Amino acid sequence: MLIVENLVVAYDSLEVVRGISFRVEEGEIITILGSNGAGKTTTLRSLSGLHRPRAGRILFKGLDISQLSAHRVVEQGLCLVPEGRQLFPDHTVMENLELGAYRRLRAGERAEVRRDREQILDLFPRVRERLDQKAGLLSGGEQQMVAIARALISRPAFLMLDEPSLGLAPMILRSIFDSFVKMRANGLTLLIVEQIALLGLQVCDRAYVLESGRLVIEGPRETMLKNPQVIEAYLGKKAIA
Amino acid sequence: MNVPTKQDFALYAGMAALLAVPMIVPGSYYTFMCILVFIYSVVAIGLNLLAGYSGQFSLGHAALMAMGAYTTAIVSKALGAHSLLAATGIHVFIGMIAGVAMAAIFGAVLAYPALKLKGPYLAMVTIAFGWVIWKILLEWVPVTGGELGITAIPKLRLGDFVLHTTYYYYFALGAAFVGFFAQRNIVRSHFGRKLLAIKHSEIAAASVGIDVYKEKVRTFIISAVFAGVGGVLFAHQQNFINPDNFQFFSSVFFLLAVLFGGAGTLIGPVIGATVLTFLPELLHDFDRIRLVVYGVLILITLYFLPNGVAGVIIGRRLGAAREPGGVVPSVRNGSPDAPKPAQDYILADVPMSDAPVISVEEIGRSFGGLRALNQVNFSVMPGSAHALIGPNGAGKTTMINIISGFYRPDAGIIRLDGREARISSMHAAAQFGIARTFQTIKLFGNLSVLDHVLLGFERHGAVGMWDAILNTQKGRQVERARITEAMAIIRFVGLEAYAHAPANALAYGHRRLVEIARALAVRPRLLLLDEPAAGLVAEEIEALKRLIGALKRSGVAVLLVEHHMDLVVSISDQVTVLDYGEVICQGDPASVQRDPRVIEAYLGSADDHAYR
């Protein structure tokens, strides 16, 4: 579904992503691990059209999207939930969700949107409680939930999440990551960047490790969970005990 | 810093060329025009400090200039009637000082109420001020001469020596130099750093103890002084002034000069003033099309020159000089580079005692109808870590915001060292030795990591404003000492490789460490950390644990909001659990983890453990 070939992304003269290649098949959940500064966010930004790559190709369903601007990329069905939420603070939570469903509502999918919304709100009971409040008044974790909900309601074919766990309480984490697996069953493809490595690895089909702008380790979930390098650097010894 | 750069040489060469102008240019007309350039440059430099560096826009600077011009005209004419004063020429100097003082006073009168407002309102207020002053100049005929203005303003003189055009040229040039170097000193000093910080994030600036309102008022007054200097120079050059010289469009002229030349650059306002002064010379019938020309220039600047002419020049040079990895240290090869905090750093001035640093008692706070906090009690001992946990929206960050002075509680009291404390603002909290980080990171844009930490010294012994403007020996010494101290803190949090990198270019987790380093420069007795581990990988969380451990050992009390239970359990001495704004459990980490209410509301059942 997504094929990335020799992607190079740079800020001025500084190459942050130094020629990475990977692919995501339809219906897969892929997790990218890596420490701060490894180039994960930059990769997602270039995939979503927010930062034009210096070199390489990004093929989405056979179409090279590497030179498209962000809104054209969204039209192709790729959606990014950026780190740091970015809601419309003066709109209510409900309005934020409706803005997420804007394209679908315009296409006349009113009933389907309502059904999806109910499903998503079941996932986030806390968001349901706050539907009429302005998004800017929500706590950080609640805003994170709304940001994910808003992306889900737009029904992208391909969803990219930059640190979905950021600021979320342990209990809600489980239901959110479980929901990713459920959504995959509904035909969604996911690319997740996650710092809580165990969480990211447990839900994925395959994972990549990005270090200093290069992909250094890759493999299916089971192999990754047992890889000594991954355990040492990302899972931490405690997680294994 | 003291080694002359290419830029300095260019500056000195330019200065030498300017000194030669009156000798080279035939006739007095162009000399006269150059004097105008110097005068307008002084005003534009003042406006640049305000608009370009601190981000406050004024459209009333022509009126402030008018205060200077009219005051010196009236005073020097009145004093000129005394033969003794007139013979020495001192009457003009007294008038000039009075004029600058009057501009400063009106700047203060305008700034105190206006700067309580934000964004476009300040611009609106200054526009209104400009119109009012202009109307008063027109209507108060006995004093201002109304439409005809004031004529026969005395020339600047020293005894019998009258400063005619050529000599006045040097006088105005001197004023422009002084203005330029004052601007340079301000911008390169702690004071200038503060202005930039305020421009980028007022909240974060307040959190390190900067009194944002006071600094903005000070900047406005300094800016008014520059306008006043421009005004008095103008009056004694022109020999007659009238209200038309100080219309609203003159204010637009100065703002345009700053934007076109390059707001927030040293040379920008000078370039802008020069171009805009000579522009009418190139165009016939300028007055008829003045508004069109200004409008087009504004559009050109906004569309094509977002950083003005100076931005283009400086940008190109920087682009050429930037080596790969020269600005941001390149991503290192090899294993993930988790920061490794030094263990030896001890914070000064932390008195050890066995009384709580802070205790909050029966704290309550509502937003609209929503009860965010209700009867919350807890205390934090020196040298200990206290964790605040709970579901999203439980009121944890609200608690941090109350302790750091961002919100006021509706009910309850806060005791610091056992005494009831009214934490009325964020900078007041810093004064008490309370520093914080933010859940959504608030940095000062592209200021370097080092600058961020230096800003944290605001509360104790940063360079004073006058030492900054005059660039005194003492000021430089203090700055050097602070840099040494700041580098120690940067090493302590493990960011030494990035000390000179712009903070906004760092990765998410490193930006969190910048916030911690900035907070440590406040030398806090109580450090508030709002989700410090969010966005860190396992190895980095280990480093954070060591860092918090070292802080505890040096006597700092840490209050943290965090969801990473692994971190919470390993570093906290006490844990308070909030749910819907109420304390549902309190105790040591182990007992809190076993508490059924906590498991139900927050942690989830046993099979969720993998997710923590």
Task: Please compute the mean of the pLDDT values over residues B325-347 and round it to a whole number.
Answer: 40
Inter-chain residue contact A195 with B397, CB threshold 8 Å: no
Residue B352 scores a pLDDT above 70: no
| The residue to which tokens 């911690």 are assigned | B516
Partner-chain contact A169 B323, CB within 8 Å: no
Say whether pLDDT at B320 is over 50: no
Distance from CA of B538 to the nearest CA of A (A): 5
- Taking the C-alpha atoms of residue B485 and residue B489, their distance in angstroms, rounded to an integer, is 7
Q: B222-278: per-residue pLDDT in tens? A: 999 999 999 999 998 888 898 988 988 889 889 989 998 888 888 889 988 988 888
**For A176-227, how does the pLDDT look when each residue is reduced to its tens digit (9 = 90+)?**
888 888 888 878 899 999 888 888 999 999 999 998 889 999 999 999 998 8
**Calpha distance A20→A214 (Å, rounded):** 6
Q: Which of B536, B537, B584 is the best substitution to test chain A (most A C-beta atoms within 10 A)?
A: B537
Q: How far apart are CA A111 and CA A114, in angstroms?
A: 5
Residue A78 pairs in a beta bridge with A158
Contact B392 A174 (CB under 8 A): no
- Interface touch A12/B506, C-beta < 8 Å: no
The model's pTM is: 0.83
Is A213 near chain B, with CB under 8 Å? yes
Segment B574-592, tens digit of pLDDT: 999 999 899 999 999 999 8
| Partners of B373 in beta bridges | B365
For residue B252, give the nearest of B312, B217, B293 by alpha carbon: B293
Beta strands in A151-196 (DSSP E): 158-162, 189-193
Share in percent of chain A as helix, strand, coil (round to 5)? 45, 25, 30
Q: What is the pLDDT of residue A208?
A: 94
Please give the Cα distance from B270 to B175 (Å, whole number): 13
Size of chain A in residues: 241
Q: Which domains does chain A have, with CATH numbers?
A: 2-77+156-240 (3.40.50.300), 87-155 (no CATH)
* 3-class DSSP state of A65: coil
Quote the CA–CA distance of A224 and A7 in Å, as a whole number: 23
Q: Is A39 helix (H, G, I), strand (E, B) or coil?
A: coil
**Residues B16-63 pLDDT 10s:** 888 877 777 767 788 888 889 999 999 999 999 998 898 888 898 999
Judged by CB atoms closer than 8 Å, whether chains meet at B391 and A172 is answered as yes
Q: Is the pLDDT of residue B347 over 60?
A: no
What average pLDDT is seen over chain B?
84
Considering just the CA atoms, what is the radius of gyration of chain A in Å? 18
Instruction: Compute CA distances B549 → A12, A183, B177, B342, B524, whole Å.
Output: 38, 41, 52, 11, 15
CB contact under 8 A, B330 and A173: no
- Helices A170-185 + A140-153 axis angle, to 10: 10
Report chain B residues whose CB lies below 8 A from the CB of A38: 331, 336, 507
Q: What is the pLDDT of residue B67?
A: 93
**How confident is residue B119, by pLDDT bands cut at 50, 70 and 90?**
low
Asked if residue B310 lies in contact with residue B262, where contact means CB atoms within 8 angstroms, the answer is yes
pLDDT-based confidence at B71, cuts 50/70/90? very high
H/E stretch holding B509: helix B508-521
Residues B344, B150: Cα–Cα separation, whole Å:
69
Q: Cβ separation of B610 and A198 shorter than 8 Å?
A: yes
Of A38, A126, A177, the CB nearest to B393: A126
Q: Is A130 on the interface with B (CB under 8 A)?
A: yes
Kindly report the nearest CA distance between residue A107 and chain B, in angstroms: 34
Please give the average per-residue pLDDT across B142-164, as a whole number: 82
Judged by a CB distance cut-off of 8 A, whether residue A211 touches chain B is yes
Nearest chain A residue to B508 by CA distance is A36
Q: Please name the member of B337, B505, B601 whose beta carbon is closest to the beta carbon of A35.
A: B337
Q: B559: closest CA among B591, B519, B599? A: B519
Amino acid present at B429: A
The residue extents of the domains of chain B are: 31-250, 340-348+355-433+524-612, 443-522
A200 part of contact set with chain B, CB < 8 Å: no
The mean pLDDT of B97-119, rounded to a whole number, is 88
Residue B324 in this model has a pLDDT that exceeds 70: no
Is the CB of A180 inside 8 Å of chain B's CB atoms? no
pLDDT below 50 — which residues of chain A?
239-241
Separation between Cα atoms, residue B99 and residue B76, nearest integer Å:
10
Residues in chain B: 612
Query: How far apart are alpha carbons B508 and B499 in whole angstroms?
Result: 16
Banded model confidence at residue B610, pLDDT cuts 50, 70, 90: very low
Within 8 A of B387 by CB-CB distance, chain A residues are none
pLDDT: which is higher, B147 or B65: B65
Instruction: Look at B341 and B7; give whichever has higher pLDDT.
Output: B7
CA triplet B325, B328, B330: central angle to 5 degrees?
50
Instruction: Count other C-beta atoms under 10 Å from residue A52's C-beta.
Output: 13
pLDDT at residue number B231 = 93
The CATH H-level (homologous superfamily) assignment of domain B340-348+355-433+524-612 is P-loop containing nucleotide triphosphate hydrolases (3.40.50.300)
Q: Do A167 and B506 touch (CB under 8 A)?
A: no
DSSP run (H or E) holding B61: helix B61-79
Q: What is the pLDDT of residues B437-480, one digit of tens each?
A: 998 889 998 899 999 999 998 887 777 778 877 888 888 888 88
Give the model's confidence band at B152: pLDDT under 50 very low, under 70 low, under 90 confident, else very high. confident
Residues of chain A with Cβ-Cβ distance to B510 below 8 Å are 36-37
CA atoms within 13 A on the CB side of B6: 4
Please give the C-alpha separations between residue B223 and each of B54, B61, B201, B352, in angstroms, as whole numbers. Answer: 11, 9, 21, 45
User: B445 is written with which tokens?
Assistant: 């844009």
CB pairs under 8 A between A and B: 160
Q: Cβ separation of B612 and A169 shorter than 8 Å?
A: no
Is A36 within 8 Å of B510 when comparing Cβ atoms? yes
Closest residue in chain B to residue A164, using alpha carbons only: B535
Instruction: Please tell me which of the candidates B324, B537, B608 has its beta carbon nearest to residue A14.
Output: B324
Partner residue opposite A13 with nearest CB, options B322, B564, B602: B322
Which among A37, A212, A236 has the least Cβ separation from residue B538? A236
The beta-carbon neighbor of A168 closest among B334, B563, B565 is B563
Q: Which residues of A touch B508 (CB under 8 A)?
A: 36, 41, 83, 163
Question: For a pLDDT cut of 90, what percent of chain B falls above it?
Answer: 34
Question: How far apart, in whole angstroms, are the C-alpha atoms of residue B152 and residue B238?
Answer: 9
Chain B hits for A144, Cβ within 8 Å:
392
CB contact A51 to B (< 8 Å): no
- B393/A239 CB distance under 8 A: no
Q: Which helix (H) or strand (E) holds B530?
A: strand B526-530
Residue B555 CA to residue B527 CA, distance in Å, equals 11
Q: What is the ipTM of this complex?
A: 0.79
Shortest CA gap B268–chain A (Å) = 24
